[in-house]
């Protein structure tokens, strides 16, 4: 732009006047539009706020439920471990009682056999006759 006397300040000034003239008539209409936009933005931000609050509450409830479920799982694990330990203890008791019972049966079994042999000897032999 080789125009004598034209500087950048002149160009900026003309652009500013042009912009002002262009947007000035719209500014009267835009005042009403701005108010509507402001209301829409406010209502939108209120809705966003309500939505975000609802989401926060839902997340808090979910976290609380997860915490409770975790506690229940821990309690179930502890009970399961206790049940298994008690089962092992009962199994050991049963085995010891079984082995003691076998020992007792063996002892009484030998006694029964000797008693049975004695009794069978008594009944198998004919009574001694007195032949004198």
**Mean pLDDT of the 81-93 span:** 96
**Regarding predicted confidence, which is higher, 108 or 119?**
108
In 1-132 the beta strands, taken as DSSP E runs, fall at none
The pLDDT value given to residue 86: 97
**Regarding predicted confidence, which is higher, 26 or 114?**
114
Per-residue CA distances from 19 to 25, 99, 118 (Å): 11, 107, 134
Question: pLDDT per residue over 22-38, tens digit each?
Answer: 776 555 555 666 666 66
**Mean pLDDT of the 6-28 span:** 74
Task: Examine the pLDDT at 95 and tell me if it is beyond 90.
Answer: yes
Report how far Cα 44 is from the mean position of its chain's Cα atoms.
36
The pLDDT value given to residue 132: 45
Distance CA 71, CA 78 (A): 11
Question: pLDDT per residue over 42-82, tens digit each?
Answer: 677 778 888 899 999 999 999 999 999 999 999 999 999 99
């Amino acid at each position: 732009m080789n125009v004598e006397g034209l500087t950048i300040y002149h160009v900026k000034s003309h652009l500013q006047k042009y912009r002002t003239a262009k947007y000035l008539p719209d500014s009267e209409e835009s005042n009403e539009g701005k108010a509507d936009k402001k209301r829409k933005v406010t209502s939108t931000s209120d809705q966003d706020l309500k939505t975000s609050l609802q989401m926060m509450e839902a997340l808090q409830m979910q976290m609380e439920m997860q915490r409770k479920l975790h506690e229940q799982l821990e309690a179930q694990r502890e009970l399961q471990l206790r049940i298994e330990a008690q089962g092992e203890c009962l199994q050991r008791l049963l085995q010891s009682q079984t082995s003691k019972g076998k020992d007792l049966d063996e002892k009484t079994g030998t006694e029964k056999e000797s008693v049975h042999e004695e009794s069978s000897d008594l009944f198998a032999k004919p009574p001694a006759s007195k032949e004198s």
